[in-house]
Amino acid sequence: MTGSQRWLLLDYRDDLAERLYRAGGNPDPHRLFDDTELASCADQSPLLISAAENLSVAADFIAQPESWAGLQIDSAQPVQAVLQHLRHILVIGFDGERKGVLRYSSPRTASYFFPAVEESALPIWLGPIRRLCWHAATWRESAVQQTHWCSVENLDADQWRPLAERDGLHLGKSQTEALQHQQVEKFLFYWWQKQSRLSFDEAFVYLDEGMQHGFLSADSLSRYLEIRSIYQVAMPPITLPHGGDEVRLDYLKTSLERSATDKERHA
């Protein structure tokens, strides 16, 4: 890319700064959280470094991406403009007046968030960034050990101009749903790893089923998944009775036990 510079935004790890200086080059890192609402947590900030000044890290980022979690950024703008934009999209609004931190520097989060951004909105979220690249997997992909390179491109990057004042950004419906889906898949992944009866996709069907029945807490969903995984061939009840989660889960278990017994009796 003519006129572009390449940067690496490395996600925070306890030993990140130490590893950067040990790798040689000229780290000269910029802390993402500086000059933001997260300045008090700057010691745990992702770090932005120049790829040109840190060739060994940049090479390892491509050759051994599992060693350096983060994003590769191509932009024709100077580092301060890139930093300004990265900080602008760090704290975002959602659900009306609520605010939160968008951990887009995590390749896992990037794998959910950026593909959910509509093409027309990419110039807003990427700003001066021409190309964003990362290596990761969604939780579903991790279940089948599929990691891969992802990228998004901003065709309007060359028209970007810094503004003296910019309104805070708010998540759209598709981005909100993508981040919610990330949390659902994360919960399921950790439950799924502890069992051997179901594939991830089978477990997801049961999880969705449980949520449709109104089970929302981690404990109730875990028990729902456990019950359904034990009685896979049994016919579940169409509806569950009113009452607390324990009452409804006990009813589900009893119904599935009875269905399984009837199937064995008529086999």
pLDDT tens string 106-159: 999 999 999 999 999 999 999 999 999 999 999 999 999 999 999 999 999 998
Global pTM value: 0.91
| Residue numbers of the domain that contains 260 | 195-265
Number of folded domains in the chain?
2
Buried residues in 120-131 as b, exposed as e (16+ CB within 10 A): eebbbbbbbbbb
Mean per-residue pLDDT for 61-69? 94
Q: Given 171, 204, 227, which residue is the final one in a domain?
A: 171
Examine residue 102 and state whether it is found in any structural domain, yes or no: yes
Q: Which residues contact 161 (CB under 8 A, 6 or more apart)?
A: none
Instruction: Evaluate whether residue 45 is within a structural domain.
Output: yes
- Judge if 126 and 200 occupy the same domain: no
Residue % of the chain over a pLDDT of 70: 96
As a residue count, the chain comes to: 267
Strand blocks (E) in the chain:
5-10, 30-31, 47-50, 70-75, 91-94, 98-101, 129-136, 148-153
> Do 27 and 135 reside in the same domain of the chain?
yes
Same domain, 61 and 95: yes
Residue 186 lies in a domain: no
**Between these two residues, 237 and 97, which has the higher pLDDT value?**
237
Q: Residues 220-234: pLDDT tens digits?
A: 999 999 999 999 988
Q: What is the pLDDT at residue 130?
A: 96
State which of 156, 171, 186 marks the end of a domain.
171
Same domain, 232 and 114: no
Q: Residues 191, 193, 194, 195: is their CA dihedral positive or negative?
A: positive
**Token pair of 169 as six digits:** 């950004």
Identify whether the C-beta of residue 245 lies closer than 8 Å to the C-beta of residue 267.
Answer: no
Sequence-distant (≥ 6) Cβ neighbours of residue 193 within 8 angstroms: none
The answer to whether residues 215 and 126 belong to one domain is no
pLDDT score at 97: 78
Task: Confirm whether 190 is domain-assigned.
Answer: no
75 — alpha (psi -120 to 50), left (phi > 0) or beta? beta
Residue 178: predicted pLDDT: 97
pLDDT category at 1 given cuts 50, 70, 90 is very low
| Same structural domain, 148 and 62 | yes
Whether residue 163 has pLDDT greater than 80:
no
Distance, CA of 25 to chain centre: 30
Query: Both 211 and 159 in a single domain?
Result: no
Task: Return all residues near 162 (Cβ < 8 A) that are at least 6 apart.
Answer: 81, 84, 128
User: Domain for residue 81, yes or no?
Assistant: yes
- Do 121 and 84 fall into the same domain? yes
